[in-house]
Amino acid sequence: MNLKNKEILVKIVYYGPDRSGKTANLEYIYDRYKHRVSPDKVMVKKLGDRTLLLDFLPLEVGKIKDYNVRVQFYTVPGHLKNNATRKLVLKGADGIVFVADSMVVRREKNILSFRDLQKNLSAHGKDISKTPLVFQYNKRDLKEQGIPLLPVETLEKDLNNRIKAPYFEASALTGANVLPTMRKVISLTLSSVQKEFE
């Protein structure tokens, strides 16, 4: 919270295994919103070819009390060897989108990545069941190419059985359900932040 600028900074992290579509989500969001904000309000940070941070002020976010809300979107490197970076990026996260890869061959990577998320949140003193969270089951469009996909029921059983968080079937490549995922996580996160104010 910045008292001088009357601004609340909200941090949303896109988490998930490598190549699940986290960066593709941020790129799609950026493409859809870049014309609506002035260039000095947009900041993109990269680590190699991976987007780490997309920072801008979406017009729909509005205010909490008299404070403008600015949303920062982060993504983490998916490779398990980059755990220190993932842990660092997760610090101070207000909301999370877990991007799961729908391909059958990626089932174990989803499960390992979700366990990793729980462990890293716990290291920051956060309980995943009390953190605003949305699941995105990405790459649903690959079914049309004959690629075997996990049924949504399997993804729910593997990842969302206990928490029962909202989920979206999506394709970050085509943009299907990318913006609804984003809006949902913003909505849950702002409700959570508002409760802290009260």
Report how far residue 121's alpha carbon sits from residue 140's, in angstroms, rounded to the nearest whole number: 28
So what's the pLDDT on residue 51? 59
Q: Tens digit of pLDDT for each residue in 176-193?
A: 999 999 999 999 999 998
Does residue 33 belong to any structural domain of this protein? Answer: yes
Query: To which H or E segment does residue 192 belong?
Result: helix 178-197
Rounded CA-CA distance 189/118 in Å is 18
Residue 59: predicted pLDDT: 45
From 20, 104, 64, 49, select the one nearest 189 (Cα to Cα). 64
User: Would 1 be classed as within a structural domain?
Assistant: no
Instruction: Give per-residue pLDDT as tens, 85-97.
Output: 888 889 999 999 9
Which tokens in the block code for residue 139? 């790459």
What is the CATH classification number for the domain harbouring 139? 3.40.50.300
Position 89 scores a pLDDT of 85
Q: How many CB atoms lie within 10 A of CB 183?
A: 14
Domain membership of residue 130 (yes or no) is yes
- Domain containing 165 equals 7-190
Tally of domains within the chain:
1
Strands (DSSP E) contained in 89-197 are 95-101, 133-138, 167-169
